[in-house]
Amino acid sequence: MYRDEAHNVVRLSEVTKVFRMGNNKVEALKGVDLTIKTGEYLSIMGPSGSGKSTLFNMIGALDKPSSGRVFIDEVDVAQLDAYELAWLRCRKIGYIFQTFNLIQVMTAIENVTLPMVFAGMNRDEYTEKGMELLKIVGLAERYQHRPSELSGGQQQRVAIARSLANDPAIVLADEPTGNLDLTTGEEIIFLLKQLSKERSVTIISATHDVKMLNVSDRVVWIRDGRIDRIEDRDKLKISIGEVA
């Protein structure tokens, strides 16, 4: 799991994505180049409709680009077959969604352990690790609850525990605080930051939540399907200061 610092965990080159809606072509991404290093906490910022979520899907190998290439751990995603893609999604990438996307009919512990079931762990191993993860997010005593019996913040915590199930190199979060109130959103952001420090996981989040900026190492601003600018953390404080 340990890599040298210069290692690029995600690299996008000339990525475009065109959606066809009837006779109209909508260019969601118009050529994006982006390099993300191991252990970074990166935020993708932009208004809705800017191509943020599309970019998120490209990085997460959830959708195919119309042209250009996506490399995850220097492996070209387009070259992978269905089995290898499933392996990648199972072991390398953890996903967190705005709408939590827990399986409604499963309990918290079942949700957390599902990726480990796919990874072929045995029952004792995955139960133990699942409980450990729920403990980290502070929900160990609620392991038998279904998502409908948990608050939004608690559901997102379960989703975070699930995303870490197979010790992924990357955690992708699509608007993780979008459906949460201010305080709960802040708690989730700090939890993510803490996890990225402790576990040296690369965290990439698409967001338009300004609270996200304070904890990000770098911020990528997206506008109209292109990268508008990329800011490092030190410079960021100044520009936020100016706004405030």
Partner 1 sequence: MKTSVERQVVLPWNQVVRISFNSIKARFFRSLITTLTLTLAVAFVAFTWSSYDMLNSIWPHANTSLQELITSGGYEITEKGFGSSPKDIWLAILSVLVCVVGIVNAQLMAVTERFREIGTIKCLGALDSFVVRIFLLEAVYQGLIGGISGSLLGILVATLSLIWKFGSAVLYYWPFLQMLATMAWASGLAVALSLIGVFYPALVAAKMQPAVALRAEE
226 and 195 Cβ atoms separated by less than 8 Å: no
Strand order in the sheet with 8-21: 24-37, 8-21, 67-72, 75-76
The minimum distance between CB 80 and partner 1, in angstroms, equals 6
The minimum distance between CB 117 and partner 1, in angstroms, equals 5
Task: Give the H or E element holding residue 192.
Answer: helix 182-199
244 and 67 Cβ atoms separated by less than 8 Å: no
DSSP secondary structure string, 24-52? EEEEEEEEEEEEEETT-EEEEE--TTSSH
The minimum distance between CB 188 and partner 1, in angstroms, equals 19
Which residues form the interface with partner 1 (CB under 8 A)?
A: 3-4, 7, 57, 60, 62-64, 73-75, 80-84, 86-91, 95, 97, 99, 101-106, 110, 114-115, 117-120, 146, 162, 166
16 and 68 Cβ atoms separated by less than 8 Å: yes
Displacement of CA 61 from its chain's centroid (Å): 11
> Quick one: 142 or 233, whose CB is closer to partner 1?
142
115 and 162 Cβ atoms separated by less than 8 Å: yes
The minimum distance between CB 29 and partner 1, in angstroms, equals 13
Tokens 């066809």 — which residue? 20
The minimum distance between CB 97 and partner 1, in angstroms, equals 7
> Quick one: 172 or 219, whose CB is closer to partner 1?
172
97: DSSP letter: -
The minimum distance between CB 102 and partner 1, in angstroms, equals 8
> Quick one: 106 or 240, whose CB is closer to partner 1?
106
* Cα distances (Å, whole numbers) of residue 148 to 58, 126, 137, 145, 156: 30, 23, 18, 8, 12
CA-based diameter of the chain, in Å?
A: 54
> Quick one: 41 or 95, whose CB is closer to partner 1?
95
| Short-list 50, 39, 45, 54, CA closest to 7 | 39
The minimum distance between CB 49 and partner 1, in angstroms, equals 14
> Quick one: 76 or 228, whose CB is closer to partner 1?
76
> Quick one: 3 or 218, whose CB is closer to partner 1?
3
> Quick one: 114 or 213, whose CB is closer to partner 1?
114
